[in-house]
Structure 1
Amino acid sequence: MATTKKATSSTAPATRTTARAAAKKAPARSTAKKSTAEAASSLAVKSDEEPWTTAELAEVRDELNQYADRLRHELHDAEEELAGLMRDAGDGAGNDQADVGSTTFERDHEMSLANNAREMLAQTERALARIDDGSYGVCESCGQPIGKMRVMAFPRATLCLSCKQREERR
């Protein structure tokens, strides 16, 4: 029985030591942003495509930033409109059924717009983060390059064409 305890106690520290050693050997992710030229050259492209140029990456980044700003403005407007509708909803005293129905429809519509803007903003910010960490243009499903033309047409794309088609068939 002493042998079992000894074997158990001797393997546990070795496992922890091995885990620490593996953690030390793992490459550390740099939190500093890469320069645009470094980021452009490190992005994945299909074998028949030219590598990303600094100008192309800057164009995509600018487009994403402009889109994010527009979405933030839309989200702010939708939230203000929604707050006004919620404030005016009250208990419905003096409103007939048509007024209450109309107010409910407007409120639901504004909530839908706000939720859509939030989702699109999250996708846009995620695309910007993927540019910064070097994973932009890589399919999140299969790990293959998405394709430069697809990404330039739809900068928030996270799936290659075949994976997107497979997802839509489900």
Structure 2
Amino acid sequence: MAAKKTQAAPGELPVRPGEDPWTAAEVAEARSGLEDEAARLTAEITSSERALAGLMRDSADGAGDDEADTGTKNITREHELALAGNAREMLEQTERALHRLDAGTYGLCEVCGKPIGKARMQAFPRATLCVEDKQKQERRG
């Protein structure tokens, strides 16, 4: 028997003191935006993987290439690898945000456990840290 997927009610998502509770429309908008972002990133990863496969085929057939051609191919391959890695990381963050939305922990700081703030979550839906903890993290480097 499959486990029933539960979702937090809109008014149950955490907010900072003085903020209005999440409305059903705001939660739906956040979910839709995250789902759209996940689809876009998945397509981007697929495209990068195809490009990398082509680059790998081309580099195997490098007979007659001069050093500049080889260097250009290497730079292009490294660039595609970096793009794909970045897209995978963002997809992971996006999927994690969707999971937190379902679990009712969307908008809670993963360090201090306090609400991140609805406005911050609406501006950066993948946020996992409140402003204070994010600043501390950035200072540590």
What interval of TM-score do these two structures reach, taking the shorter chain for normalisation? Answer: over 0.9
Instruction: Encode CA deviations 1:46-78: one digit per residue, 9 max, x unaligned.
Output: 111011111000000000000111101111101
Answer 1 or 2: higher relative contact order, Cα 8 Å, separation at least 6: 2
Residue 44 (structure 1) shift = 0.7
| Larger CA Rg, structure 1 vs 2 | 1
Matched, 1:161 2:111: no
Partner of 1:33 in structure 2?
Answer: 5
RMSD (Å), alpha carbons: 1.1
**Which residue of the other structure, out of 128, 135, 142, is the alignment partner of 2:112?**
142
Q: Aligned pairs, how many?
A: 138
Alpha-carbon distance in 2 for matches of 1:62, 1:48: 26
TM-score in terms of structure 2 length? 0.94
Matched, 1:129 2:99: yes
Identity of aligned residues (%): 57
Matched, 1:113 2:83: yes
Partner of 1:46 in structure 2?
Answer: 16
Partner of 2:31 in structure 1?
Answer: 61
Unaligned runs of 5+ in 2: none
Secondary structure of 2:56's counterpart equals helix
Alpha-carbon distance in 2 for matches of 1:97, 1:133: 54
Alpha-carbon distance in 1 for matches of 2:20, 2:121: 14
Q: After TM superposition, which residue ranges in structure 1, 4 or more long, deviate above 4 angstroms?
A: none
TM-score in terms of structure 1 length? 0.78
Residue 91 (structure 1) shift = 5.8
Residue 33 (structure 1) shift = 2.6
Alpha-carbon distance in 1 for matches of 2:131, 2:6: 28
Q: Is the 8 A contact 1:43 1:137 kept in 2?
A: yes
- Bigger share in helix: 1
